[in-house]
Each structure stands twice: as C-alpha cells, then as structure tokens.
Amino acid sequence: MALGGGSFAAQNKILPGAYINFVSVAQAAMALSERGYVAMPLETDWGPAGEVFTLTAEDFQIRSRELFGFDYTHEKMKVIRDLFKNARTLYGYRINGGGIRAACDYATAKYAGTRGNALRLVIEEDGAEYTVRTFLDGQMVDIQQVTEMSGLNDTSYVVFKRDATLQATAGVPFTGGTNSIPALEDYQKFLDKIQSYSFNALGLVSDDKDVKALFADFTKSMRDGMGIKFQTVLFRYPADYEGIVSLDNCVEGTAAVEEGIEGEVTLTADSCALVYWATGAIAGCAVNASNTNKTYNGEFEVDTSYTQKELEEAILSGTFILHRVGDEIRVLEDVNTLVTLSDEKGEDFKSNQTIRVLDQIGNDIAALFGNKYLGKIPNDEAGRVSFWNEIVTYYRELEKIRAIEGFKADDIVIARGEGKKSVVVNCPIRPTNAMAQLYMTVVVN
C-alpha cells in the first residue's frame, strides 16, 4: 500500500505520509489601472446601431472605413482623430442609426445611413462566371467571382439579394439611405448599455438641454449611488458638480444667430465638436498630472474670443475653457463645475486632478475588493491585515508617482463593521496638484 501524500487544505488526513503545499510568498499585487477609456454616443453616416463597439487608438486607422464609412484621413473623421489625441480606447455607440439602408437591385447596404448612397456595384460577365465588384466612393472594397447570385458572400458593406439575377452592368448605384434623428430615448438606451463598461470619461456632443440633463443625472447616479467613478464632459452645462466638466469653447465660425430671435444663438453638433478632444483629454490625463496649460493639438479652429475678465469669471464659475497663448491654444485650468463648497467637498474638489486621484482610488480599491476578497477571504484579523497590506502598497505606488503626498501607513485603519461580513476602511490622503500660480518677489538692493 502506498503512503498518503499530496496537498492539504486542513490537517485531517488519515493515512501516514507527507502532505505538502507549494505556494508563493504572499505579496500585494495591487496596481494602478490604466486611464484613457472614453464612452460616447456618436452621430455618424454609417455603422452598427443599437450596440456598443470598442475601438482602440491602434485599430482606428484599420477599422475606420468599416465602422464609420470613411477612411482615417477623411474630413469626417477629424472628430475621432481629435478624440484619440489623448484617449486610448473608445466605447462608441451610433445614436442615429435608425434610418433607412440604401439599396439597389442586387444588394442592400449593411447599415442604415446616408453613406450607403456612395456604394456602387459593377458586374462583369465572362462566360459562365460573373465578377462582382463593390465600390465605395469609387474605391473598390470587395471583389467576388461566382456563377450565380447564391454564391455571393455578404461583406462588411453590402448584403446581397439572393432572389436577384446576375446581369452585366457598368455600375449600379445604391440609393435611399438615410440617417435617423436621435431622440431622448435613444440616448437613454445608450446610457443603459454603457453601464456595464468601465471608462474614465463620458462625452456628449450636443447642446440639447434635455439630453445634457439626462447625462448629468446619469453621472450623479453612477458616481454617488453606485460608486462608479468617471467624469462627464458636456457643452456649456454648469452643473455645480465635481463629476461634470463644462466645456465653453465653440469651433470657430459655427455659431449663428437664429433668425427672428435677437441675440439667440443656435449651436449645432459642429459647434460642440471640441467636446471630442476635451473628453479624450479628461480620460487620458494621468492620475499624477493636470490638463492645466495643456496645448490643444487637434484639427479644429477654436473660438478663443474671451477677455481677461471673462477668463477669470470662467475659472470662478467652474468652466473648462481653452484660451490663446501666443500662437498656441491651451487649457486655462483643469476644473470641473463644482462651485458650491461644503464641509464634505472643499476647494480641492474643484480640481480635476484631485478628482482623478479620488476616482482612481475608488475604482481600483473597489476592483481589488470585488475580485480578490469578496466572498473569498474570511473577515478575520488575518484577512483584514492582508487587505490593509494591499491598500498600503497601492498608496505607496500613488506616492511614488507623486499623485499623493505625506502618506503614512499608520493612517489606514481597517476594522470589522457592524455585521460579520462588513469591513470598514478609513484612509485619509492628500492629493498632489500641479503648480498653477507663481508669486515671486524680487528685492533689488
């Protein structure tokens, strides 16, 4: 009979033998999560509707035509190029995809939208075979050789009609493609779907008051009610809340006075297009950095017609604003819309750099607890010490990159809560902010 052996969970073996566990030395594996993740509803002329798609900065050039109907270099892609100046990943959602798909006698466009009207089929006959080419704006995007219609495979651009009969043609255009006009319920569907994603910034390119209010309410609900931390960039929306960033600048020359209403300014999505860059900047800014004085490196002409007094008022009112410094356009100050201060939310909460640090901590510690401790580690002294060690290690990483300062491990207190399953953590921190003002006195002898 062989001796007992193997690993053990408890010292309750019956057979004699050697029971040995091989384990790693316990160590904290807490790391800072990456930033640069953006969620946005998009008005485009092509693409999937009713679903969230993921697009990275690296894939944008490759998938641009497939997702948006235009090559990466096209003028229509300027807004997405602006976004990826700072963003890492986009969780996009086509908000106006409920229109009509363009069609011809042989096929229907894969997606609804006006871009489908730029499609064209050319069919050449060679004996018993047909060569079917699909063109988008004169550029071939697909070629297939078949003997009959049923042999054609659907592509990223068209869905073929199986009941049609192939005939040689110099070119059959697609017609009838339209975009839909997004309604409030379309934006709500986007917000419902995006809840399951993790991102740093939510952007909205719209000046509709009801839609902006919907996004502001969603942000407050997610941050305060569910503990999911991100900031939302809206166009000219003074929410008085640290989770909302209000961008003031228009694209140069896009604001127009509405006819018949003196002084009333009508703004379109083109006017608000700088939200793309600002959302990327908010999402992509490192936890130990600030957007204050950041140079705008996008492709739009920015309206910076502000007086010195208006710039001062913008800071006091919690407005994120770009201004001209010589030949460059720069962020005046990295602020959110919080203006009403309290004992719970003081002056520091007006700074987006402070909010980034707090949001990073909130999201990372919640992820650590949920993935490693929730339902897995006993709520005893040893379990709480393990959790304490991980938080201390995490805070030291923040201090190492100068996101916080003056950290003392003894300040972190972890105790059992009122229930046997609950854990209470108290951990004061001091976020670091970038220099913004210089007060200097030069004494001349």
Query: For position 277, which CATH number holds?
Result: 3.30.1370.220
Quickly state the pLDDT bin for 437 (edges 50, 70, 90). low
Lowest mean pLDDT among 14-18, 106-110, 138-142, 330-334: 14-18
CA neighbor of 230 nearest in space, from 240, 218, 239: 218
Q: Are residues 235 and 321 in the same domain?
A: yes
Distance CA 265, CA 217 (A): 25
Quickly state the pLDDT bin for 259 (edges 50, 70, 90). very low
> What residues contact residue 73 under an 8 Å CB cut-off, 6+ apart?
none
Q: Pairing relation of β-strands 107-109 and 158-160?
A: antiparallel
Distance CA 4, CA 275 (A): 67
The answer to whether 315 and 333 are in contact (CB under 8 A) is yes
Distance CA 350, CA 251 (A): 26
The answer to whether 104 and 174 are in contact (CB under 8 A) is yes
Q: Are residues 114 and 196 in the same domain?
A: no
In a domain, residue 144? The reply is: yes
Kindly state the average pLDDT of the residues 260-266.
49
Kindly state the average pLDDT of the residues 148-158.
96
In a domain, residue 90? The reply is: yes
Give how many domains the chain has, as a whole number: 2
Q: Write down the pLDDT at residue 326.
A: 93
Q: Write down the pLDDT at residue 420.
A: 84
Q: Are residues 321 and 231 in the same domain?
A: yes
Q: Are residues 165 and 254 in the same domain?
A: no
Host domain of residue 258: 37-95+190-331
In a domain, residue 222? The reply is: yes
Q: Are residues 56 and 164 in the same domain?
A: no
In a domain, residue 263? The reply is: yes
Q: Write down the pLDDT at residue 438.
A: 59
| Residue 59 C-beta-side C-alpha neighbours within 13 Å | 12
* Burial grade of 383 (CB within 10 A; 0-12, 13-18, 19 or more): middle
CA neighbor of 70 nearest in space, from 38, 47, 95, 40: 47
Lowest mean pLDDT among 127-136, 253-262, 394-403, 406-415: 253-262
Quickly state the pLDDT bin for 230 (edges 50, 70, 90). very high
List the CATH number of the domain containing 117.
Answer: 2.60.40.4290
Instruction: Please state the pTM of the whole predicted model.
Output: 0.87
Whose tokens are 């939208």? That residue is: 113
**What is the per-residue pLDDT across 409-423, written as a single tens digit (0 to 9) for each?**
888 898 888 888 888
Q: Write down the pLDDT at residue 227.
A: 87
Task: Check pLDDT > 50 for residue 238.
Answer: yes
Name the region of 397 (left: φ>0; alpha: ψ -120 to 50; beta: rest): alpha
Last residue of a domain, one of 331, 357, 376: 331
Last residue of a domain, one of 267, 298, 331: 331
CB atoms within 10 A of CB 261: 9
**Mean pLDDT over all residues of the chain?**
89
Q: Write down the pLDDT at residue 175.
A: 98
Q: Write down the pLDDT at residue 34.
A: 87
Name the region of 69 (left: φ>0; alpha: ψ -120 to 50; beta: rest): left
Q: Are residues 128 and 251 in the same domain?
A: no
Q: Are residues 89 and 157 in the same domain?
A: no
Task: Check pLDDT > 60 for residue 23.
Answer: no
Quickly state the pLDDT bin for 366 (edges 50, 70, 90). confident
Q: Are residues 46 and 127 in the same domain?
A: no
The C-alpha angle with vertex 68 and arms to 67 and 69, in degrees rounded to 5, equals: 105
